[in-house]
Structure 1
Amino acid sequence: MTKEPIIINAPASKSLSHRTLIAAALANGVSEVSSILDSDDITRTRGCLTACGAKIDEKDGKLIVTGMESGPKGGNADGKHKDEEPHELFMHESGTTCRLMTAVAAAGYGSFKVHGAQRMHERPMAELVTALQKLGSTFEFAEKEEFLPFIMTSKGYTSKKVEITLEESSQYLSGLLLGAPLTDHETTITVTGKKAVSWPYVALTLRIMEDFKAGFEVEIKNGKKWEAVPWRSIKVVSPGKIRFIVKPTGYDPTHYRVEGDWSNASYFLAAGAVGRRPVLIKGLAADSLQGDRAIMDILSQMGASIKVTFDGILIEPSTLHGITVDMGRCPDLVPTVSAAAAFATSPTTITNVAHLRIKETDRLEACALEVSRTQAETEIVEDTLIIRPGRLPNGHAIDFTTYGDHRMAMSMSLFQLAGIDVTLDNPTCVNKSFPGFWDEWEKIIG
C-alpha cells in the first residue's frame, strides 16, 4: 500500500526575491510584492535599498515598495558638502546582495560605503570593480585592492559600453543589467572570458526586468554580424558571442508575486528519493526559469521517481545510482546532490564547479570533507567532485561542520534519513535563506 506523502510548502525564491525587490525599488511609483522570502539575505538587500532612497513597508503580509525618484542616492559625490558621510551598504554575508547592489548603486549618484562580514571581505570583487570603473565609478579601498570594504563614488553609468565575464559569478552581469535602465543612454554589456557559469540566474534577472517593463535586447554574434534573438531561447552562453543592449527606460511599478524556490526545495526532493515516504512539494513552478529546477532532472537521472501533478511535485522513495553531471549552471545544488550521491549504489562525478570555492565557504572542499564522514570516499580533481558511496553508518552519531553555510546545514541533514544521528555545529545558519527550514524538516523526520 502506498504511503501518504509528506506535504511541504516551498519557500519563496531567494533569487527572485532579491531581483523583485530591486526592480520595485528602482521603479518610479509604488509596487506591491507578495510571497517574498523572509530571510537574512533578503533583509540585507532591503536595508541597502532603503539606504539608497527606497521606502519599504509591510502591510497584510505584503511589501509596499515606493521606488526611488531618480535612482540610488548616496552621500557626498561632488565635494560641495565635505561633512556628508557616504551612504552605508552593509552586506553581512550575502554575496548576492553585494554583487547586485554594488552594481545598482553605481548606476545612481553619490558615495557608498560597501562592506560586510569578514567572509564577505575575502570574496573576490575585482571583475565587477573593473567593469564599474570603466562605467565611471571610482573606488577607495580600505584594506585590499579590489576587495571589500571600499568607498565607491558614482555619477551613474557614464560610459555606453562595458565588458564582463561570467567565469566567477553570473551576479556581476545581473547587477549591471539591473542598473543599466537608470541611465540616460543605451548601455551595451558584452560577455567575455573563457567560460560562462550560472546562466539561468541571468535569465531570472531578464525576466524581472521584462516584468517591470525595463527595455533591453539580447544579441548573438553570427559570423561577423550581431543579431537580436528572443532571450528565452538562449540555453547556453558562449563568451564573445552574446551582448545585451539595455535601454534607458527605467522601471514601471508592478504588483508582483514571487514563485517558490527550487534551491531550497531541493533538500525535500532529495528526502523524498532517499527516505521512506513520498514527499509532495507545493508552490513550485514546474516550468520555472530557475536553474535549480535541474534538481528534478538530476534526481531522475539517478533513478528517482518524480511526477508533476496538479497538487505539486511528487517524489517517491527510490534506489539511486551514480551519474556524471555538469553542474556549472546550478552550483547551489551541489551540496544536495553530493549528499544524495552518498545514498547511491555507484559513484557520482560532479563537474564544472570550480566557482564553488568562492561561495559562503569553499563549498567544494566542504562537500568533499563532510560527505566523507559517512564512509563515502570523496575526491576533488580540479573543478570536479567525485563521490564513491560506502556503507552508510546506520545508528551512528556524526558531527557535521556547517562552516556557517546554510546549504551545507540543510543538505547534511539528509543523512538523518539513513538512520544517522546528525549533529550540526551551527543549525541557525539556515536563516540566511530559509528561516522556516527546521519546521518543515520536522515533517520529514518526525
Structure 2
Amino acid sequence: MKPVIDITAPSSKSLSHRALICAALAEGESLLEGVLDSQDLTRTAGCLRLLGALITPQGGKLFVRGIGGKTGASAEGPVSMNVGESGTTCRLMAGVVTAIPGIYRIHGEGRIHDRPVAHLTDALTQQGVRVTFEEKSGYPPMVMSSPGLIGGEVTINLEQSSQYLSGLLLAAPLATGTTTIRLIGRSVASWPYVALTLDTMARFGVPVILERRILDDWHSCTHAEAAGLPPTDIRLVVHPAPYRAGAMRVEGDWSNASYFLAAGAVGTAPVRISGLSRQSAQGDRFMLEILSRMGASVEWQDDVVTVFPSALRGTQVDMNACPDIVPTVAAMAAFATGETIISGAAHLALKECDRILGPVTELSKAGVNIEARPDGMIIRGNGGLLPRSVDLCTYGDHRMAMSFSLLELGGISVNLDNPSCVAKSFPGFWDVWSLIRLGNGLGATHES
C-alpha cells in the first residue's frame, strides 16, 4: 500500500455564511476564525457591508463590527445586493434584510435568476414585506420593500430548500414581536442545515425553541427528534432578542472533504483528513455512513479520519438530507461492484446546475453505466473504469468539477471545460487535489 496522504479539511461554507451573518447583526466586535475564503463568502460579506457592517481580515481571521440590527446603508433608493452565483447568499440575505426597514434589490449572475425563492418570499409577505419580481415571478432579480418584521405566525414551505427557513430564522430575532414559524408542505429538503443555523444563532446569544406536535399539544424537541417528522408537526418559536458579539472558530467542511474521503476509498493510497468534527451537525457527515455501507475501511483517531483503499459494493441511499455530496457518491459508485441507487433528492434539479442530469450526462461519457431518476439516479458499477480521455462539462458548477476529478483515479484523463469554477466554494481545490494525484502516482498536474 502506498504512503498515507495527509490533508486538512477546508472550512465549512455553510457555517461560514451563518457565522458572518450573526456577527454582522450583533452589536460590537466579533472575532471569527477559519471563515472560508471563497467567491460565495465574498458575496455574503459584500451584502453585509452594504448594511453597514465592518468586516476586516487580519492574520487569517475576520474582525466583524456589527450593526446591532440597525442599518448604516443609505436611505436613498434601493440597496443593490449582487449575490453573484451564490444561492446561499441569495436566500439567507433575502430573509435577513427584511428585518431592517428599507428597500433592497436582490440580483445575481449565472443561473441564480433560475433558482426559485417564492417559498421564502411567500413567508415574508405574511410579515408585511412587499416583493416585486423584475423578470419571472418567484425568481430573482427582485425588489423587497420592508417596514421591518412584526412577528406573529408565519408559514413556510421547505420542499425545495431549507435555506428559506434559515433566512427567516436569522431575521426573526430582530422582529418587534415573537415569531412562530409553522412548516407546511409534504417534505423538508436538507433538514440538517437548519441545525447549523440554530447552533450558530445560539452561539451569538439567540436561542430558538423547536417544538413537535403530539396530538393537540406542542412539546420542545431536539433537532434530531424533529428529523423525519411531517412538516406540519414542526414549529419554531423565536423571541425578540439582540445578537451578542462573540468569538467563533468555523469547523471543517464535510461537503468539500467528501472528494478526498472518496479518493481514499477508490484510489491506491489511504487519505487521512484532519479538521473534521465527528459530532458535527453538518448533514454531509453522512458521507462516512455511505462509505461504510459500500464496504470502505474507515478509521478515526482523535479528530483525524483515514479512509483506506477498498473494494466497494453498491448500496441504496436516501440523500434528501445531504444533496451536496450526491455528485461525489455518483462518481464513487462507478468504482463499486453492483447497483447504487440514489433517491430522495429531487431538489437537486434546482442547484447550480441540474445535479441529476448533469452527472448522468457527463459520467456516461466516461463509460459509467448511469441512469437518471426523478429523485436521483442509478449507477451500475463493475468494479472499475476503462482508461480513456474524456472532455467533460462542469456546467459552471463547482461540485461537478470536483467530483469528476475522482475519475482520474480510475485511469480516466479528465479534461474539464471550466476547472476554475471550484473558486465558488473551494479556490484551493486543485492545489489540494495535486496531493491526491501525487500520492496515487499520477503526477501533480491536473489535465484541464
Give the TM-score of the pair, scaled to structure 1.
0.96
Partner residue of 1:274?
Answer: 266
**2:287 pairs with 1:295:** yes
SS in 2 for 1:286: coil
1:388: how far off? Answer: 1.2
Name the aligned partner's letter for residue 298 of structure 2.
I
- Within 5 Å, which residues of 2 pair with 1:4-403? 4-72=3-71, 75-76=74-75, 84-231=76-223, 233-310=225-302, 312-390=304-382, 392-403=384-395
Deviation track 1:34-60 (CA, whole Å, cap 9, x = no partner) reads: 011000000010001111111101112
For structure 2, the 5+ residue unaligned runs are 439-448
Q: Pick the aligned partner of 1:409 from 401, 405, 408.
A: 401
1:319: how far off? Answer: 0.5
Name the aligned partner's letter for residue 109 of structure 2.
A
1:132: how far off? Answer: 0.8
Q: Residues 232 and 53 (structure 1 numbering): CA distance in 2 closer, same or farther, change over 3 Å?
A: farther
Q: Residues 113 and 286 (structure 1 numbering): CA distance in 2 closer, same or farther, change over 3 Å?
A: same
Deviation track 1:66-119 (CA, whole Å, cap 9, x = no partner) reads: 01133446554xxxxxxx121111111000000000000011110101100141
1:196: how far off? Answer: 1.0
Q: Residues 101 and 3 (structure 1 numbering): CA distance in 2 closer, same or farther, change over 3 Å?
A: same
SS in 2 for 1:136: coil
Deviation track 1:10-54 (CA, whole Å, cap 9, x = no partner) reads: 000000000000000011111000011000000010001111111
CA distance in 2, matches of 1:426, 1:196: 32
1:371: how far off? Answer: 1.5
Q: Residues 393 and 219 (structure 1 numbering): CA distance in 2 closer, same or farther, change over 3 Å?
A: closer
SS in 2 for 1:195: coil
SS in 1 for 2:232: coil
CA distance in 1, matches of 2:388, 2:429: 24
SS in 2 for 1:16: helix
CA distance in 2, matches of 1:251, 1:303: 45
SS in 2 for 1:389: strand
CA distance in 2, matches of 1:256, 1:69: 18
Alpha carbons 2:278, 2:303 under 8 Å: kept: no
1:381: how far off? Answer: 2.5
CA distance in 2, matches of 1:243, 1:73: 33
Alpha carbons 1:167, 1:197 under 8 Å: kept: yes
Q: Residues 114 and 224 (structure 1 numbering): CA distance in 2 closer, same or farther, change over 3 Å?
A: same
**2:421 pairs with 1:429:** yes
CA distance in 2, matches of 1:70, 1:201: 24
Partner residue of 2:443?
Answer: none
Deviation track 1:197-240 (CA, whole Å, cap 9, x = no partner) reads: 10100010000011111032111100011112234543334210
**Greater mean alpha carbon deviation, residues 308-317 or residues 241-250:** 308-317
Partner residue of 1:438?
Answer: 430
Count matched residues: 438
Deviation track 1:129-152 (CA, whole Å, cap 9, x = no partner) reads: 111111111112221222111111
Name the aligned partner's letter for residue 157 of structure 1.
L
Deviation track 1:339-372 (CA, whole Å, cap 9, x = no partner) reads: 0000011010000110000000111100111121
Deviation track 1:278-318 (CA, whole Å, cap 9, x = no partner) reads: 00001000111100000000011001001111251100000
Alpha carbons 2:92, 2:163 under 8 Å: kept: yes
Partner residue of 1:79?
Answer: none
CA distance in 2, matches of 1:232, 1:205: 14
1:183: how far off? Answer: 1.4
Deviation track 1:365-386 (CA, whole Å, cap 9, x = no partner) reads: 0011112122222212221311
1:324: how far off? Answer: 0.7
- Give the % identical residues: 49
Name the aligned partner's letter for residue 119 of structure 2.
E
CA distance in 2, matches of 1:384, 1:22: 32
Alpha carbons 1:136, 1:159 under 8 Å: kept: no
Name the aligned partner's letter for residue 148 of structure 2.
G
Name the aligned partner's letter for residue 293 of structure 2.
Q
**2:26 pairs with 1:3:** no
1:159: how far off? Answer: 4.2
CA distance in 1, matches of 2:68, 2:197: 22
Give the TM-score of the pair, scaled to structure 2.
0.95
Q: Residues 204 and 297 (structure 1 numbering): CA distance in 2 closer, same or farther, change over 3 Å?
A: same
Name the aligned partner's letter for residue 5 of structure 1.
V
SS in 1 for 2:292: helix
Alpha carbons 2:134, 2:142 under 8 Å: kept: yes
Deviation track 1:375-405 (CA, whole Å, cap 9, x = no partner) reads: 2222122213111125755431011110000
CA distance in 2, matches of 1:271, 1:35: 24
